[in-house]
């Protein structure tokens, strides 16, 4: 465990160059860990539950109780847009200012009262009753996507389903023209690569900067069209709210569109991908779900816990914080490691086992408190529909022999591709 008064690992004297083992003794940044972080999480929970990582320049908080408390602790601020670029050279920070400015108005990265004002507008579109009304449309989209690949007898679960379904759905919710929705994928992926990277490279940051610039230009056009011809979509609702005095500035409106695109696509894509991967690796669980379709609700909750699409969320300490014998200094970043909390045996007995019959499954994959995921109900509808339909239609599907490659992103967990041999399709009843 880190001693509260011990120097941080990056303070190693120049006369004694730090080795990789000094900077990353838990091998947090190794490809093996990024592919399967759960054994390392178990070590951290046992040996250093509040651990300063020099590689990520922040504190990793890994026990369930600590993570849950961290989401509700007002001393840990979500207002961290500057933290993504703080350690970069001055000239690089200046170039990335448009990206920082966009992120600075994301409700996800704000504290109350700014967060409350923007979140109250967003919530109007994600009332569970309204979201449940989208289920027939989601079912139709899932079947259309699976119809397109069924004749070939094989598919890439991410490319052909996980990537496309959330884009189509969040595009409809926002009011993006149908012919443009496929354009959104590259922009969303560039933002995901940046936001989950811990310490993003200049290349990753540059990709996110380009994505934000192009997204803002694109949404300016959509907003202008919606002002002329409002619809029932979320963007039209935000514009109506603006006219009624609940004003969003132009930057806040553009930033909210970018945030909703990212949140509606990236998390759900990897929930579907990671969930179906787990089922393909656990045939008995897949067969149980196919035989008991009503189990899909608890199954998705367990899949969220088992392999969370968001592995951590960062916060900034507003004052010195003592936690489990460690001192997190004011201004430092703390990473609330959801993936580690969701496998904590103190909260979930036998946590490495996939079990659709767990009781009181209070996972933290969608956050807690005021920053609980606004689109959680929509993500659940999409994942339940995609997973239930896939296992029903393709009961004999198997992973192909091609090796799986995890994205080297510690904060956003997902694969580059999930190639699957579909086998014989089951006829519709």
Q: What would the pLDDT profile of 379-420 be if each residue is shown by its tens digit?
A: 999 999 999 999 999 999 999 998 899 988 888 899 999 999
* DSSP code per residue over 160-208: IIITHHHHHHHHHHHT--GGGGGGHHHHHHHHHHHHTSSS--HHHHHHH
pLDDT digits (tens, 9 = 90+) for 206-255: 888 898 899 999 999 998 998 888 888 888 888 877 656 556 778 888 88
Which pairing describes strands 76-77 and 419-421: parallel, antiparallel, or unpaired? unpaired
Q: Is the bond leading into 122 cis (omega within 30 degrees of zero)?
A: no
Q: pLDDT at residue 11 above 90?
A: no
**Cα-based angle 78, 83, 87 (whole degrees, multiple of 5):** 165
Please tell me whether the overall predicted TM-score, pTM, comes out greater than 0.75 for this model.
yes
Q: pLDDT at residue 37 above 80?
A: yes
* Strand ranges for 259-331 from DSSP E: 312-317, 321-323, 326-328
* DSSP code per residue over 386-421: HHHHHHHH-TT-EE-SSPP-B-S-SSB--BS--EEE
pLDDT digits (tens, 9 = 90+) for 271-305: 999 999 999 999 999 999 999 999 999 999 999 99
pLDDT digits (tens, 9 = 90+) for 108-153: 888 988 888 888 888 877 877 778 888 999 999 999 999 999 999 9
Nearest to 96 by CA among 82, 107, 111, 79: 82
């Amino acid at each position: 465990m880190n001693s509260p008064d011990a120097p941080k690992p990056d303070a190693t004297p120049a006369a004694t160059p730090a080795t990789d083992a000094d900077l990353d003794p838990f091998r947090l940044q190794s490809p093996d860990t990024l592919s399967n972080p759960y054994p390392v999480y178990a070590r951290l929970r046992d040996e250093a539950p509040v651990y300063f990582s020099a590689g990520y320049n922040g504190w990793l908080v890994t026990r369930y109780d600590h993570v849950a408390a961290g989401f509700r602790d007002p001393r840990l601020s979500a207002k961290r847009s500057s933290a993504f670029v703080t350690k970069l050279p001055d000239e690089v920070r200046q170039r990335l200012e448009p990206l920082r400015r966009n992120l600075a108005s994301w409700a996800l990265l704000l504290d109350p009262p700014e967060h409350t004002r923007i979140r109250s507008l967003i919530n109007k579109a994600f009332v569970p009753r309204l979201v449940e009304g989208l289920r027939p449309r989601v079912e139709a989209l899932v079947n259309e996507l699976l119809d397109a690949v069924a004749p070939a007898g094989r598919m890439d679960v991410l490319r052909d389903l996980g990537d496309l379904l959330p884009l189509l759905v969040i595009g409809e919710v926002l009011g993006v023209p149908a012919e443009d929705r496929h354009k959104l994928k590259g922009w969303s992926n560039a933002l995901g690569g940046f936001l989950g990277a811990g310490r993003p490279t200049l290349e990753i940051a540059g990709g996110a900067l380009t994505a934000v610039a192009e997204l803002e230009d694109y949404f300016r056009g959509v907003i202008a069209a919606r002002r002329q011809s409002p619809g029932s979509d979320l963007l039209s609702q935000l514009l109506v709210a603006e006219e009624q005095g609940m004003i969003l500035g132009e930057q806040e409106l553009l930033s909210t569109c970018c945030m909703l695109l990212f949140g509606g696509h990236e998390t759900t894509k990897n929930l579907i991908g990671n969930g179906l991967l787990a089922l393909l690796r656990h045939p008995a669980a897949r067969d149980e779900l196919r035989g008991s379709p009503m189990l899909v609700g608890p199954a998705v909750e367990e899949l969220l816990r088992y392999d969370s699409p968001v592995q951590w969320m960062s916060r900034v300490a507003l004052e010195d914080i003592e936690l489990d014998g460690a001192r997190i200094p004011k201004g430092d970043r703390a990473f609330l490691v959801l993936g580690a909390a969701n496998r904590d045996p103190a909260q979930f007995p036998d946590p490495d086992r996939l079990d659709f019959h767990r009781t009181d499954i209070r996972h933290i994959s969608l956050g807690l408190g005021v920053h609980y995921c606004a689109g959680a109900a929509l993500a659940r509808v999409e994942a339940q529909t995609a997973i239930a339909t896939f296992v029903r239609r393709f009961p004999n599907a198997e992973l192909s022999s091609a090796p799986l490659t995890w994205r080297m992103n510690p904060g956003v967990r997902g694969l580059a591709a999930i190639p699957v041999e579909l086998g014989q399709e089951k006829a519709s009843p």
